[in-house]
Amino acid sequence: MALEAAHTKRGDRAKRRRQPGHSDSGRGSEKEYIEAGADILVTNTLQASSISLKRYNHSEDAYEITYKAAKILKDIPEVKYIGGCIGPTTGEFKEWAMDPTKAYTEDEFYAAYKEQVRAFKDAGVDLVICKTFFILPELRAALRASKDYDMITAVSLAFNYFEKTDDFATIYGAKIDDLISLNDADIIGFNCGSVTPDQAVELTVRFRKKTDKPLFVEPNGGLPGNQDQVYTPDVFATYFEKIIEAGGTLVGGCCGTTPGHIRALKKIVDLQNLGTIYRPKKWRL
Ligand SMILES: [Zn+2]
């Protein structure tokens, strides 16, 4: 299954909006991802929890923002599946990725995420995707909130590769085994971070040695902030031949990926007939 890019660098978003066919509502970009062949479109709600919205003084609007974001996708008939996106609460802080456990308890994370999941449920999304997480307490809270509403749930960490130890971990040290310990998750995997598409192949192999669960694989189209290392759609898609062969199930692109990346990726997915490998029973066909 191919996923659209759920969040991109601000610059990419602005650039795309300037292109013909892009309306201010963002509706234009959603159509582009549908036309590119994305099976799942993801809501633009990564930073829409009440905690993340604090820095904009909009905490009390978390439900409404999340609900409306899901409804935008729900109202487009061509959308096959909608992934309700939940992200880390680090967005509240000026320093991205400051450890939020120093400011909040796991129960506070849970309460904030529960509000978003309730909005997803009310709007009728097909699954909840908890992505770009760095620390376990937040991710655990998001998963618990999602399962309270009986939602199909994907959990995903933002890994970096550490050459010294030849290991993949988040900037706070969470690893593959930590994700696997989240037994209630229906889908596990990784997105964003500094894992390049070629490293994503290796990371997929390492996941597959430890789990049979459907695997979510969504690397960036380049390294954030590094213009010298940007993957063109065709090169990006080439790595997915190996990722899918190694057992990647729900595949897509994170920061810096465009409809062109998804189009190229979709060709690989179709070639390998991936669509038939994983589809939860309760999803409509
Ligand atoms: Zn990203």
CA of 7 to the centre of ligand 1 (A): 6
CA of 23 to the centre of ligand 1 (A): 23
Q: How far is CA 100 from CA 90, 95, 153, in A?
A: 6, 11, 22
Rounded CA gap, 182 and 249, in Å? 18
Tell me if 272 is assigned to some domain: yes
CA of 94 to the centre of ligand 1 (A): 18
Question: In this model, does residue 53 exceed pLDDT 90?
Answer: yes
pTM given for the model: 0.87
Instruction: Residue 109: give the domain boundaries.
Output: 2-276
> Tell me, what's the pLDDT at 15?
35
Pairing mode, if any, of strands 187-191 and 167-169?
unpaired
CA of 254 to the centre of ligand 1 (A): 4
Domain count for the chain, please give it: 1
Tell me if 284 is assigned to some domain: no
pLDDT tens per residue, range 119-169: 999 999 999 999 999 999 999 999 999 999 999 999 999 999 999 999 999
Helix axes 259-271, 233-245, angle to 10 degrees: 40
CA of 62 to the centre of ligand 1 (A): 21
Rounded CA gap, 185 and 42, in Å? 18
DSSP 52: G
CA of 131 to the centre of ligand 1 (A): 9
> Tell me, what's the pLDDT at 102?
84
Tell me if 226 is assigned to some domain: yes
Tell me if 66 is assigned to some domain: yes
Question: Nearest CA to 84 among 50, 120, 47, 49?
Answer: 120
Half-sphere exposure of 51 (CA within 13 A, CB side): 24
> Tell me, what's the pLDDT at 159?
96
Mean per-residue pLDDT for 217-245? 86
pLDDT tens per residue, range 37-50: 999 999 999 999 99
Tell me if 263 is assigned to some domain: yes
Question: In this model, does residue 8 exceed pLDDT 50?
Answer: no
- As a whole number, the mean pLDDT across the chain is 86
Rounded CA gap, 157 and 184, in Å? 16
CA of 106 to the centre of ligand 1 (A): 24
CA of 196 to the centre of ligand 1 (A): 11
Rounded CA gap, 259 and 125, in Å? 22
CA of 271 to the centre of ligand 1 (A): 26
Tell me if 281 is assigned to some domain: no
> Tell me, what's the pLDDT at 271?
78
Residue 160: strand, helix, or coil: strand
Rounded CA gap, 153 and 148, in Å? 11
pLDDT tens per residue, range 12-25: 333 333 333 333 44
Q: How far is CA 155 from CA 49, 130, 186, 235, 276, in A?
A: 16, 5, 8, 26, 22
CATH number at residue 199: 3.20.20.330
User: 26 and 72 in contact (C-beta within 8 Å)?
Assistant: yes
pLDDT band at 236 (very low <50, low <70, confident <90, very high): very high
Half-sphere exposure of 82 (CA within 13 A, CB side): 27
DSSP 100: G
Percent of residues, the chain, with pLDDT higher than 90:
71
> Tell me, what's the pLDDT at 20?
34
Higher-pLDDT residue of 113 and 29 is 113
Question: In this model, does residue 227 exceed pLDDT 90?
Answer: no
> Tell me, what's the pLDDT at 4?
59
CA of 199 to the centre of ligand 1 (A): 15
Kindly state the tokens that stand for 264: 């190229």
Pairing mode, if any, of strands 215-218 and 250-252?
parallel
CA of 59 to the centre of ligand 1 (A): 23
Length, in residues, of the chain: 285
Tell me if 282 is assigned to some domain: no
pLDDT tens per residue, range 60-98: 999 999 999 999 999 999 999 999 999 999 767 666 556
